């Protein structure tokens, strides 16, 4: 271990925010490679090119670092979705874009999903953080569905779609997407875009039309 | 503790299978009440009216007992579903009956679901058992969907519905149902039958029809 000192990188002066992102990049990489339990703060510090005391000083214990990493990845995912889902688009286009961004994100970060998300789910101590992220996503989806209903009710005969219906629909959509994301993470050969299309078919058309061989297609080429 | 000996129930001679079911009943009750970590083998043995060494002899460690309890509840749930889903019924009726049985089961065992299933999900050591149960359910659902396609293709113009489409659809349906079961477990006032209808609407009709105010209704009264 002592030998390492001489080869340690010189720590450049960088703004705190940049340093933190470097640490989180390193944390995501190491947690994904080793899993929460086997990951060491030494490896994370080394990968970030930052001293271990500095990692502790900036982001706290390994547990706090994991939560920070999970939180950042979750935020990135939601930002990737929010960036493409425009409020003014028709609801099927919004759902399609949201699903494509979601599965695209998972497909591009298969290791991160498999380890970060599954570890978070499989550790009681991270249950709170994960439940909170999930609630936020469900709220966003329910809101999107609500606006879709509003928009439609302007020109179709409005039958009652209650708030609880939207909430339940959002739970179902998010649960289905999580389940398929797990499937995608386990199938390195599977195409994220195609997975999004399949999910879109189930969510938008429903099993009835799908079993009859009908499918939904995006309007863009 | 010594005082208990005199009030301990006399252990009647019962067939092994009956004893095991008593132990599992007690295990489900105690795990649901206390959670895996806080549950004690003493309490389980006492609740089952069986000596602690006998519980160990029959079903092993607390971890093995938890897996046995999880396995039995999972099997009961699948049996409850299989009992009502007839192969000769139309696919929407099969799906509806399956969902009603599933949410009925969860609704009747809210505590058990909340603790047994969530604990199993939140403990790395039970991940294997849970993943296996999940795979079995997904296989059953994919099989049901496959038969529905076969039946339909006899009298509609058959468009290609591939095995992977059925697998993906099954993943989505199971994930959506799990997510809604969690919702149901957290909402003691929510009606399981109504939850099944809502899930049926999403799964069978899809969001498009649902957002327009269309709903699916069972044919039975």
Instruction: Spell out which residues of chain B touch residue A171, defining contact as CB-CB under 8 Å.
Output: 176, 179-180, 182-183
**pLDDT score, position A133:** 87
Structural domains present in chain A: 12-60 (1.10.10.60), 69-211 (1.10.357.10)
Do the Cβ atoms of B176 and A173 come within 8 Å?
A: yes
Residue that wins the pLDDT comparison between A122 and B218: A122
Instruction: Spell out which residues of chain A touch residue B209, defining contact as CB-CB under 8 Å.
Output: 206
Residues of B (166-205) whose Cβ lies below 8 Å from A: 167-169, 171-180, 182-183, 195, 198-199, 201-205
Residue that wins the pLDDT comparison between B217 and A124: A124
CB-defined contacts A:B, below 8 A = 163
Q: What is the DSSP annotation of A74-140?
A: HHHHHHHHHHH--TTS-HHHHHHHHHHHHHHHHHHTHHHIIIIIHHHHTBGGGHHHHHHHHHHHHHH
Angle at A200 between CA A195 and CA A205, to 5 degrees: 140
Count of helices and strands (H, E) across chain B:
12, 0
**pLDDT score, position B48:** 92
**pLDDT score, position B107:** 93
Kindly state the average pLDDT of the residues A127-149: 85
A41-55: b or e for each residue (b if 16 or more CB lie within 10 Å)? bebbbbbbbbeeeeb
- CB nearest B207 (choices: A121, A123, A203): A203
Which regions in chain B score pLDDT beneath 50? 1-6, 155-159, 221
Handedness of CA B66, B69, B72, B77 (dihedral sign): negative
* Cα B191–chain centre separation: 17
% of chain A beyond a pLDDT of 90: 27
Kindly state the average pLDDT of the residues A68-85: 89
Instruction: Spell out which residues of chain A touch residue B179, defining contact as CB-CB under 8 Å.
Output: 171-172, 174-176, 178
Q: Alpha helix (H) ranges present in B88-191?
A: 91-108, 110-112, 118-121, 127-153, 163-186
Maximum alpha-carbon separation in chain B: 76
A121 close contact with B: CB closer than 8 A? yes
Do the Cβ atoms of A92 and B124 come within 8 Å?
A: no
Q: With 50 as the cut, is the pLDDT of residue A3 above it?
A: no
Q: With 70 as the cut, is the pLDDT of residue A157 above it?
A: no
Kindly state the average pLDDT of the residues A72-97: 86
The pLDDT tens digits for A25-44 are 999 989 988 888 899 999 99
**CA nearest A141 in B: which residue?**
B207
**pLDDT score, position A63:** 93
What are phi and psi for residue A112, nearest 5 degrees? -60, -45
**pLDDT score, position B2:** 45
Q: With 60 as the cut, is the pLDDT of residue A16 above it?
A: yes
Of the pLDDT bands very low, low, confident and very high (cuts 50, 70, 90), residue A153 is low
**pLDDT score, position B4:** 47
- CB nearest B207 (choices: A95, A157, A178): A95
Do the Cβ atoms of B207 and A204 come within 8 Å?
A: yes
- Placement of tokens 């509609």 in the chain: B156
ipTM, 2 decimals?
Answer: 0.79
């Amino acid at each position: 271990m002592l030998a390492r000192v001489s080869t340690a990188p010189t720590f450049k002066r960088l703004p705190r925010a940049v340093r933190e992102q470097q640490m989180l990049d390193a944390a995501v990489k190491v947690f994904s490679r080793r899993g929460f339990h086997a990951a060491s703060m030494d490896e994370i510090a080394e990968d970030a090119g930052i001293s271990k005391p500095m990692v502790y000083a900036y982001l706290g214990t390994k547990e706090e670092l994991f939560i920070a990493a999970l939180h950042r990845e979750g935020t990135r995912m939601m930002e990737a979705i929010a960036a493409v889902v425009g409020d003014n688009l028709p609801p099927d286009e919004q759902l399609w874009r949201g699903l494509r961004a979601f599965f695209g994100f998972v497909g591009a970060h298969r290791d991160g999903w498999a380890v970060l998300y599954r570890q978070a789910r499989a550790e009681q101590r991270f249950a709170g953080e994960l439940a909170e992220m999930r609630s936020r996503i469900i709220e966003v989806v329910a809101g999107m569905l609500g606006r879709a209903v509003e928009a439609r009710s302007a020109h179709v005969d409005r039958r009652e779609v209650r708030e609880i219906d939207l909430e339940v629909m959002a739970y179902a959509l998010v649960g289905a997407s999580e389940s398929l994301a797990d499937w995608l993470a386990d199938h390195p050969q599977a195409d994220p875009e195609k997975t999004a299309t399949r999910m879109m078919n189930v969510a938008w058309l429903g099993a009835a039309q799908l079993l009859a061989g009908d499918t939904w297609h995006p309007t863009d080429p």
